[in-house]
Amino acid sequence: MLFVGLLLGLAPAAWPGEGVAVTDFLGREIELDAPAERIVALAPHLVENLYTAGAGEALVGAVSHSDYPAAARALPEVGGYTSVSLEAVVALDPDLVVAWASGDGGSRATRERFATLGIPVYVDRPRRLDDVARAIVDLGRLAGHAETAAVAARRFRAGIETLRRRYADRPPVSVFYQVWDEPLQTLGRDQFVGQLIRLCGGRNIFADVATLAPKVSIESVLARDPEVIVASGMGDERPDWLDDWRAWPGLRAVADDQLHFVPPDLIQRPTLRLLDGARQLCEAIDAAR
């Protein structure tokens, strides 16, 4: 069977007992004697990416709010991504922990504690759209599902490139992306949403703000007068506060009825579903042209 697979170009991700190695987002080489069979994921998006990479069956634990796909909801919880229980993780006897470098000292301390216990830790720190594909490829290799992961990564990259070509030459549209209403909050230029706005031919009206998630005032939004307002909220339902903007009928987005909603999990989580969110965002921006 193995010989036939090789002839067909379907070589296994790793021979039985063969080690695997990748370089994580901190530039560290993560080496395993064999593909991981017991994985604990310390961020919801990493759980999702592991399933996408074909490694869902290897997951034995995850943090709270790991809700996609549906099977992830049954995983034992090991705390939240900012409050991981070391004891709960160790009790699951993982041969790999995958973590998110959120930038706070707590996440670094957690990683260091696992390192002292001899548990390999792969660290994900996505900053660019292509980092989503890279992480999926890495996770697939570490879990022995390199081909499944490579197919998913190619699909993501091809979808992003298709959108880039489709909207590259269209007239720019000014966009306000609203994360929340009280306090009024948006996302800056370097966050994934900002990159997606540019991908769709949009212009983030707060692209000049260096902060990743700045709080802004209603007056500053009115002064910048966006052509489109896109809201996220907390779940799959359109937030009621999006319509609060109708109190300012002179705002271009209100006058042209360009108030849109994209579910936050499709546009704020660095997973394969970001491609679905990008398509919805591009359609919303294009509607204002």
Looking up residue 216, the CATH number of its domain turns out to be: 3.40.50.1980
Question: Chain centroid to CA 224: how far?
Answer: 28
pLDDT in tens, 124-138: 999 999 999 999 999
In a domain, 2, yes or no: no
Higher pLDDT, 208 or 105: 208
Last residue of a domain, one of 130, 156, 182: 156
pLDDT of 210 higher than 80: yes
pLDDT at position 106 is: 53
Dist CA 189 CA 205 (whole Å): 9
Same domain, 238 and 131: no
Same domain, 242 and 129: no
pLDDT of 104 higher than 80: no
Same domain, 194 and 224: yes
- CB 54 within 8 Å of CB 145: yes
In a domain, 125, yes or no: yes
Same domain, 20 and 127: yes
Span 86-105, mean pLDDT? 87
Same domain, 177 and 282: yes
Same domain, 94 and 185: no
Same domain, 91 and 207: no
Same domain, 256 and 174: yes
3-state secondary structure the chain: CHHHHHHCCCCCCCCCCCCEEEECCCCCEEEECCCCCCEEECCHHHHHHHHHCCCHHHEEEECCCCCCCHHHHHCCECEECCEECHHHHHHCCCCEEEEECCCCHHHHHHHHHHHHCCCCEEEECCCCCHHHHHHHHHHHHHCCCHHHHHHHHHHHHHHHHHHHHHHCCCCCEEEEEECECCCCECCCCCCHHHHHHHHCCEEECCCCCCCCCCECCHHHHHHHCCCEEEECCCCCCCCHHHHHHHHCCCCHHHHCCCEEECCHHHHCCCCCCHHHHHHHHHHHHHCCC
Same domain, 117 and 198: no
Give the confidence band of 254 by pLDDT, cuts at 50, 70, 90: very high
Higher pLDDT, 81 or 208: 208
Last residue of a domain, one of 104, 121, 156: 156
User: What's the N-to-C CA distance of the chain in angstroms?
Assistant: 56
pLDDT of 202 higher than 90: yes
In a domain, 282, yes or no: yes
Same domain, 17 and 147: yes
pLDDT of 195 higher than 70: yes
- CB 32 within 8 Å of CB 121: no
Domain count, the chain: 2
Same domain, 129 and 37: yes
In a domain, 121, yes or no: yes
Higher pLDDT, 110 or 224: 224
Output phi, psi for 41, to 5 deg.
-110, 130
In a domain, 45, yes or no: yes
Span 215-237, mean pLDDT? 95
Domain containing 108 equals: 10-156
In a domain, 5, yes or no: no
In a domain, 273, yes or no: yes
In a domain, 131, yes or no: yes
Q: Which residues of 10-48 are buried (b: 16+ CB within 10 A; e: fewer)?
A: eeebbeeeeebebebbeeeebebeebbeebbbbbbbbbb
The two tokens of residue 275 are 């491609």
Same domain, 218 and 175: yes
Dist CA 77 CA 84 (whole Å): 9
Dist CA 266 CA 21 (whole Å): 30
- CB 252 within 8 Å of CB 227: yes
pLDDT of 11 higher than 60: no
Last residue of a domain, one of 156, 184, 202: 156
pLDDT in tens, 35-50: 999 999 999 999 999 9
